[in-house]
C-alpha cells in the first residue's frame, strides 16, 4: 500500500512523499512526483524518517527523575501519573506565585502543537511563552506586516528573470513554505542569480554574482544597494509615487551611507554593490529569497525592513515572478485557535512588554526567560514546560541556560529522544512522530496553503502527539469545555469554515487560498496609509526608528578587551534539523563531526591542518570542532557548525552538550534588537588554536 503525505519535522517540511506501508510498518519513503511543491525530489533527511520512526532509542513511555537533575536515573510511570504530576505542579505554581511563575517553551514550530500550547497558556493566563521567534522568522514577519501589510513570498511559479538570494541556502535547508527544488526550477528556466552569503554555498556556486559580505553587516549592504538604485534612478518611479510613503525621508537617510562607507563596513567593493543593485533592479521580474541568517543580530528587524523597501521601490511586490501576497485558505484563524481574546491583559503581564513586536506576536525572547529564572526579576519563574525544543543547544549563552534549568523547581519535557535538555527534566513525556498522528501542516504560516499530514502508522509504544498531550492537560486542568474529545474533533473544527472535515482534507492533500496579483490596486496595502510604509509612523509612535536605520556596526576583529583576530559566523548542517537527529545512522554517516570552515592561510597561521580539532574561543567560552579548509572563505572569518551534541558519547556530561555547542560562545546580555529582542549569534570576535580531540 502506498500512502501520500507531506514531509514534516525533519526540517520545516512541505515536500510531498509516498510512504510504502506493509503490515503496519513503513518500508520505504520516496518523493511524490505528482506533488506541485517538490515534484518528486526528496533529501536525505526525508528518506531517514524511517530510521527516526523505528529508532531503538526512542522514548516510548513517560518517565520521572529519580536521582539528581541530569544524573540519568529514571523510573517508568503511567500517563495518568505523568499528567497528574504536571497538573499539580501547574496548580501549585499558580497558587504560590501566580501564572507568571510558569513558562512554556516551544522549539522550532512544526505543527499545530505550538498553537495548542499557546491556547492552553492563554486559558490559564500564563503570559510567558518562549519560542525562537526573535531570531527566526518573526523579524521578517513583523517587518512585513508593518511595511507592506503582508509577508512577501518569492513567486517561483511564474518564472522570475532574476532571483536575489540573501542569507538563505535553499538547496540544503528549506524555508517554511519554500522548497529548494522550486528555486532550482527557476534557475533551470534561465533566471539570473545573485547570492549574498559569506560562504560559497551550493546556491552561491551557481550564482551570476556572488556577494561575500562581512558577517553581520547585511543592513548596511542593503542600504548600499538602495543608495545605488536611488542615485542612478533605477527605481520604479510610478510605483514609488503612487504606492509608497516616506521615499523622500529614505533619500535623506541614504545620504548618510555613501558607497565608500558601505564598502568599508561590509568588505564588499563599491563596484560589486552597484553591480548587484543594477542586476536586481533592471532584470524584471525579480524575486528576493531571504533566510533567517539576517535575523541573528541587533539590526534584524530593520534589515528585513530595508529588504522589503528594496522589493517595493524596484516594482517587484505582488507581481508575477516577484514577491507576492499569498492569502491563506478560509479556515479557522490562528487567533481564534489560541483563544487570544480570553487573555486580553497578556500584553501587560508578559515578561518583556518593552519588546512590542515580540509581545504583538505573543512570545518572550528566550534569553529573558533564562534571566528571570536565575534572578527572580521582574518576577520568579519556577516551572518550565518544553516541547519540541532543546534549549541547552539552541539558546544563546548555553552555560547560563544550563544554570537556569538546574534552578527550576520543576521541568517537564516532551520529546522523541532523550536530548541534553530532556535529561535535565523532572518528567519526560514520549512524543509521537509525524507519521503517527493526524496533523495540518503549515497552519499559521504566511505562504497561502495548508497540508494534510495524515497518520500512516500507529504510535510506537506509549508515545503521544504533542497536541494530544496538551489536549489532555487542558481537560485535567478543568478546561475541558475549551478542548476536544479527540484530535479529529479539533482538526474538523479548524477546517469547518472551508466546508470540509479532516477526512475530506486528506483526499485533497493541499488547500490553497484565493491567490491573485496586484491586489493592492483594488484596496491598497494593509497598512495605515494604504501604501508601502518606508517611513513608519507606527514605529515612531512606539519609540522605534521609523526608517531602516542601523543600531550598531558589529565589532570588528580586535575590538574587544582581549585580542580576538577573527570573527565567526555559523551554518546549519544540511543533514540535521538544528540540534536534532545526530543519532540517526544514515545522516550521521554523511556528517560525522562538527565541522569548522576556515581559510588555509588562517589555518596555517595557527599550525592547523585539515581534520585537526580546533579550539574556538570568545569572551564567553570555548568549544572544539574539526577543521575543514576552504579557500573561498574570507581569511578573517571562520564558520562554525550549529547544534552539535553527541548521543553516542555516554561518557560525557549530558552526551557532550558543551564540547562543540556553538552557543557556549554566544552571549545573551544586552543590547538586543529593541523591538523584537534579537540577540547577536553571528559576527562575534573569536580566536582559534589547535586542540586535542575529546
> Bridge-partner residues for 3, per DSSP?
19
Residue with cell 557532550: 656
Could you tell me the pLDDT band of residue 562, with boundaries at 50, 70 and 90?
Answer: low
> 614-625: per-residue pLDDT in tens?
999 999 999 999
Q: Given this model, what pLDDT does residue 280 score?
A: 98
What does each C-alpha distance from 43 to 313, 575, 689 come to in angstroms?
37, 9, 35
- Residue 247 pLDDT > 90, yes or no? yes
| Angle in degrees, 0-180, between the axes of helices 300-313 and 138-147, rounded to the nearest 10 | 50
User: With 70 as the cut, is the pLDDT of residue 20 above it?
Assistant: yes
The secondary structure of residue 341, as a DSSP letter, is: G
N-term to C-term CA, the chain: 47
Question: Which triple of cell numbers denotes residue 17?
Answer: 512523499
User: Tell me, what's the pLDDT at 271?
Assistant: 98
Q: What is the CA radius of gyration of the chain?
A: 24
Q: Give the per-residue pLDDT at 9.
A: 86
CB 48 within 8 A of CB 10: yes
Residues 112, 114, 117, 123: is their CA dihedral positive or negative? Answer: negative
Q: What is the pLDDT of residue 558?
A: 66
Cα dist from 366 to 133, 352, 570, whole Å = 9, 10, 19
φ, ψ dihedrals at 613, nearest 5°: -80, 135
Dist. CA 104–CA 387, nearest whole Å? 8
Ordered alpha helix ranges (H), 350-465: 356-361, 366-375, 391-394, 398-407
**Does residue 175 surpass a pLDDT of 90?**
no
Per DSSP, 599 falls in state -
Calculate mean pLDDT across residues 353-359. Answer: 94
Average pLDDT across the chain, whole number: 96
519 contacts 148 by C-beta, under 8 angstroms: no
pLDDT at 369 over 70: yes
Count of Cβ atoms closer than 10 Å to residue 162 Cβ: 25
- pLDDT beyond 80 at 109: no
What is the tens place of the pLDDT at every residue in 500-547? 999 999 999 999 999 999 999 999 999 999 999 999 999 999 999 999
C-alpha cell at 493: 473544527
The DSSP 8-state label assigned to residue 135 in this structure reads G
Band (561; pLDDT cuts 50, 70, 90):
low
pLDDT at 110 over 90: no
Which strand (E) or helix (H) includes residue 491?
Answer: helix 487-495
Residue 477 has pLDDT above 60, yes or no: yes
Which residues 6+ apart lie within 8 Å of 537 measured at CB? 528, 546
Cβ(183)–Cβ(195) below 8 Å = no
Whether the Cβ atoms of residue 547 and residue 673 lie closer than 8 Å to each other: no
Phi first, then psi: give them for residue 42, nearest 5 degrees. Answer: -155, 145
The pLDDT assigned to 328 comes to 96
Q: Which residue has the cell 510511570?
A: 77
Encode pLDDT of 417-456 as tens digits: 999 999 999 999 999 999 999 999 999 999 999 999 999 9
* Domains, the chain: 2-53 (2.20.25.90), 63-130+332-442+449-512 (3.40.50.740), 138-325+529-541 (3.40.228.10), 566-691 (2.40.40.20)
Three-point CA angle 515, 283, 217, nearest 5°: 90
Say what percent of the chain tops pLDDT 90.
94
pLDDT score at 103:
98
Does position 148 have pLDDT exceeding 80, yes or no? yes
Q: pTM of this prediction?
A: 0.97
pLDDT tens for 120-147 read 999 999 999 999 999 999 999 999 999 9
pLDDT digits (tens, 9 = 90+) for 563-577: 899 999 999 999 999
Note the pLDDT of residue 560. Answer: 57
Written in H, E and C, the secondary structure of 40-80 is: CCCCHHHHCHHHHHCCCCCCCCCEEECCCCCCCCEEECCHH
Backbone angles phi, psi at 431, to 5 degrees: -90, 145
* 517-525 long-range Cβ contacts below 8 angstroms, 24+ apart: 517/318, 517/319, 517/320, 517/324, 518/318, 518/319, 519/318, 519/325, 520/243, 520/318, 525/148, 525/149, 525/150, 525/243
Across the range 453-482, mean pLDDT stands at 97
Q: How far apart are CA 337 and CA 104, in angstroms?
A: 17
* Pairwise CA distance, residues 164 & 321, whole Å: 12
What totals of helices (H) and strands (E) does the chain contain, helices first? 25, 27
Predicted confidence (pLDDT) at residue 559 exceeds the cutoff of 70: no
Compute the average pLDDT of residues 217-232: 98
Q: pLDDT grade, residue 554 (50/70/90)?
A: confident
Cβ atoms of residues 376 and 533 within 8 Å? no
Percentage of residues of the chain with pLDDT beyond 70: 99
> Strands, E, within 199-248: which ranges?
209-211, 244-245
The answer to whether residue 12 scores a pLDDT higher than 90 is no
| CA–CA separation, 7 and 19 (whole Å) | 10
What is the C-alpha separation between 603 and 594, in angstroms, rounded? Answer: 17
pLDDT for 177 beyond 90: no
pLDDT for res 343: 96
Amino acid at each position: 500500500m502506498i500512502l501520500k503525505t507531506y514531509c514534516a519535522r525533519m526540517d520545516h517540511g512541505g515536500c510531498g512523499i509516498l510512504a510504502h506501508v506493509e503490515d503496519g510498518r513503513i518500508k520505504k519513503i520516496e518523493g511524490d512526483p505528482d506533488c506541485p511543491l517538490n515534484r518528486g525530489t526528496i533529501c536525505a533527511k526525508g528518506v531517514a524518517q524511517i530510521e527516526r520512526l523505528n529508532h531503538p532509542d526512542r522514548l516510548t513511555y513517560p518517565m520521572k527523575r529519580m536521582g539528581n537533575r541530569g544524573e540519568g536515573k529514571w523510573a517508568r510511570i503511567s500517563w495518568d501519573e505523568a499528567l497528574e504530576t504536571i497538573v499539580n505542579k501547574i496548580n501549585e505554581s499558580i497558587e504560590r506565585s501566580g501564572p507568571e511563575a510558569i513558562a512554556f517553551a516551544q522549539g522550532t514550530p512544526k505543527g499545530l502543537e505550538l498553537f495548542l500550547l499557546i491556547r492552553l497558556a492563554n486559558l490559564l493566563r500564563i503570559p510567558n511563552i518562549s519560542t525562537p521567534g526573535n531570531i527566526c522568522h518573526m523579524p521578517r514577519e513583523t517587518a512585513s506586516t508593518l511595511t507592506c501589510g503582508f509577508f512577501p513570498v518569492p513567486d517561483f511559479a511564474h518564472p522570475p528573470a532574476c532571483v536575489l538570494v540573501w542569507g538563505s541556502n535553499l538547496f540544503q535547508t528549506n524555508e517554511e513554505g519554500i522548497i529548494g527544488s522550486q528555486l532550482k526550477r527557476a534557475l533551470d528556466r534561465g533566471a539570473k542569480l545573485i547570492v549574498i552569503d559569506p560562504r560559497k554555498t551550493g546556491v552561491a556556486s551557481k550564482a551570476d554574482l556572488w556577494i561575500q559580505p562581512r558577517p553581520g553587516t547585511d543592513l548596511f549592504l542593503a542600504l548600499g544597494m538602495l543608495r545605488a538604485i536611488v542615485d542612478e534612478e533605477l527605481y520604479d518611479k510610478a510605483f514609488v509615487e503612487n504606492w509608497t510613503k516616506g521615499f523622500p525621508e529614505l533619500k535623506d537617510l541614504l545620504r548618510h551611507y555613501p558607497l565608500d562607507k558601505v564598502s568599508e563596513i561590509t568588505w564588499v567593493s563599491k563596484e560589486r554593490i552597484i553591480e548587484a543593485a543594477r542586476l536586481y533592479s533592471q532584470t524584471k521580474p525579480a524575486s528576493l529569497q531571504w533566510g533567517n541568517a539576517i535575523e541573528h543580530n541587533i539590526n534584524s528587524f530593520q534589515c528585513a525592513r530595508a529588504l522589503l523597501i528594496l522589493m517595493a521601490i524596484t516594482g517587484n511586490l505582488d507581481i508575477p515572478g516577484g514577491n507576492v501576497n499569498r492569502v491563506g485558505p478560509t479556515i479557522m484563524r490562528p487567533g481564534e485557535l489560541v483563544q487570544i481574546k480570553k487573555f486580553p491583559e497578556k500584553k501587560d503581564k508578559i515578561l518583556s512588554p518593552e519588546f512590542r513586536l515580540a509581545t504583538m506576536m505573543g512570545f518572550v525572547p528566550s534569553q529573558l526567560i533564562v534571566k528571570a529564572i536565575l534572578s527572580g526579576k521582574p518576577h520568579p519563574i519556577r516551572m518550565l514546560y518544553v516541547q519540541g525544543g532543546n534549549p541547552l543547544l539552541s539558546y544563546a549563552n548555553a552555560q547560563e541556560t544550563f544554570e537556569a534549568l538546574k534552578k527550576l523547581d520543576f521541568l517537564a519535557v516532551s520529546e522523541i529522544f532523550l536530548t541534553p535538555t530532556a535529561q535535565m527534566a523532572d518528567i519526560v513525556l514520549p512524543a509521537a512522530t509525524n507519521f503517527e498522528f493526524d496533523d495540518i501542516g503549515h497552519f499559521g504560516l504566511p505562504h497561502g496553503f495548508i497540508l494534510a499530514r495524515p497518520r500512516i502508522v500507529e504510535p510506537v509504544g506509549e508515545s503521544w502527539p504533542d497536541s494530544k498531550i496538551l489536549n489532555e492537560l487542558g481537560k485535567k486542568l478543568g478546561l475541558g469545555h475549551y478542548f476536544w474529545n479527540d484530535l479529529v474533533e479539533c482538526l474538523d473544527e479548524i477546517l469547518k469554515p472551508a466546508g470540509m472535515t479532516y477526512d475530506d482534507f486528506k483526499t485533497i492533500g493541499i488547500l490553497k487560498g484565493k491567490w491573485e496579483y496586484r491586489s493592492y490596486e483594488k484596496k491598497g496595502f494593509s497598512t495605515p496609509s494604504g501604501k508601502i510604509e518606508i517611513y513608519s509612523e507606527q514605529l515612531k509612535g512606539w519609540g522605534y526608528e521609523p526608517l531602516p536605520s542601523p543600531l550598531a556596526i558589529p565589532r570588528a576583529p580586535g575590538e574587544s578587551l582581549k585580542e580576538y583576530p577573527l570573527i565567526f559566523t555559523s551554518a546549519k548542517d544540511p543533514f540535521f534539523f538544528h540540534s536534532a537527529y545526530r543519532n540517526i545512522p544514515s545522516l550521521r554517516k554523511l556528517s560525522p563531526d562538527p565541522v569548522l570552515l576556515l581559510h588555509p592561510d588562517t589555518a596555517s597561521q595557527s599550525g592547523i591542518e585539515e581534520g585537526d580539532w580546533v579550539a574556538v574561543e570568545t569572551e564567553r567560552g570555548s568549544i572544539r570542532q574539526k577543521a575543514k579548509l576552504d579557500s573561498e572563505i574570507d581569511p578573517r572569518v571562520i564558520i562554525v557548525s550549529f547544534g552539535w551534541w553527541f548521543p553516542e558519547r555516554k561518557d560525557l556530561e549530558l552526551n557532550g552538550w558543551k564540547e562543540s555547542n556553538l552557543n557556549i560562545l554566544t552571549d545573551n546580555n544586552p543590547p538586543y534588537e529593541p523591538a523584537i529582542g534579537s540577540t547577536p549569534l553571528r559576527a562575534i570576535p573569536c580566536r582559534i588554536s589547535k586542540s586535542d580531540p575529546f
